Amino acid sequence: MAKNPNKIRAKRVASDYVIDIIMIVTIVLVLVLTLYPFLNALAISLNDSNDTTLGGLTIYPRKFTWRNYELVFTNQKIWMAYFITIARTVIGTVGGVLITGMLAFAISRTNLVGKKVYAMLCLIPMYFGGGLMPTYFLILNLGLKNNFLVYIIPALVNLWNMILMRSYFQSLPEALEESALIDGANYITIFFKIYFPLSTPIIATIALYFGVQHWNDWFQANLYITQDYLKPMQNVLLGIVNEAKFAEQMASAGMGVTIDANMLKGKETNVRSITMATMFVTIIPIIIVFVSFSKPSSSCSAFLLRTLFFLKSSTEKVFAILGSEAGSQSV
């Protein structure tokens, strides 16, 4: 017995609607879970500090004010940390792409003598590290402690990024190299004038990896930097959170403590509002850079998922701050 094609079509359309509804609900839930911490933190940073102390969860400022951001941008310590972070990110990204790219180009050459030995030497550090203390003493003996170069030199080569670039270079036709060698070009010319211009997709990807790594890193400064003028934005933000925890603990014990007198003197604000404003000053630029590098080329949904994934990773900082505040309030 032949089936009615109209019924088959109706069932197919109905199942499609069900799948569409499930996908839409899932995306909306992921979107809410991803964006809510951002919206809540943004509302706190734009809200009047007296109203913020009343508590409550909100995604919009109940009493709008720019006072917190004005205080952030007029503070010398935060402004200097912002400059250090930008300088570190730009110099570290450019240097990392160049050095890692040249290493990947050399490893990808088929006529490289000892190629397997070099590849093995690059592979071993990915599984075995020297340890924290030997690394610290190495940095100390090299004179990099309390030196801006401690942000740049140890991060010039990333082996995972090198493997990605090597694979891309190997996918390019060898005829390009052979033709250039016949014309009298050396390998430096071949790299910068032929392979480098043809590798813009992988270079943009690696540059994004290096940029995010340098912008979000705080561990290097926490270990090797003791001078305030060399600390990046992440460490200044961490210091504000720690000061907030200490002040709230002292306040609960009945002792009056001023948190960063230079920051809060004569200002109607509180540490939580300053923390949220500082956090947005820190993470907004790198999000803009990520969106700029991740233009939707093939699929808008893939671009949306990549953006949401990056926002999710960025919200870890928001959760850490909120968790620190919640922990300090419970003491």
Token code pair at residue 49:
């500090």
Q: What is the pLDDT of residue 241?
A: 67
CA-to-CA distance for 140 and 224, rounded, in angstroms?
Answer: 8
Q: What is the pLDDT of residue 91?
A: 94
DSSP string, 219-285: HHHHHH---GGG--HHHHHHHHHHHHHHHHHHHHTT----S-HHHHTT-S--HHHHHHHHHHHHHHH
Q: What is the pLDDT of residue 254?
A: 60
Token code pair at residue 14:
């109905």
Of 56, 145, 159, 168, residue with least CA distance to 99: 159
Distance from the first to the final alpha carbon of the chain: 75
Q: Report all structural domains of the chain as residue ranges with CATH numbers, in order of start.
A: 5-65+232-329 (no CATH), 76-224 (1.10.3720.10)
Q: What is the pLDDT of residue 326?
A: 42
Q: What is the pLDDT of residue 317?
A: 53
Q: What is the pLDDT of residue 174?
A: 86
Q: What is the pLDDT of residue 87?
A: 92
Mean pLDDT in order along the chain per 10 residues (331 residues):
50 70 85 79 83 75 83 77 90 94 89 82 80 87 91 90 90 88 89 90 88 86 88 80 67 56 49 77 76 56 56 55 44 36
Q: What is the pLDDT of residue 151?
A: 92
Q: What is the pLDDT of residue 100?
A: 93
CA-to-CA distance for 216 and 89, rounded, in angstroms?
Answer: 9
CA-to-CA distance for 180 and 201, rounded, in angstroms?
Answer: 22
Q: What is the pLDDT of residue 329?
A: 41
Q: Do residues 271 and 237 make contact, with C-beta atoms less than 8 angstroms apart?
A: no
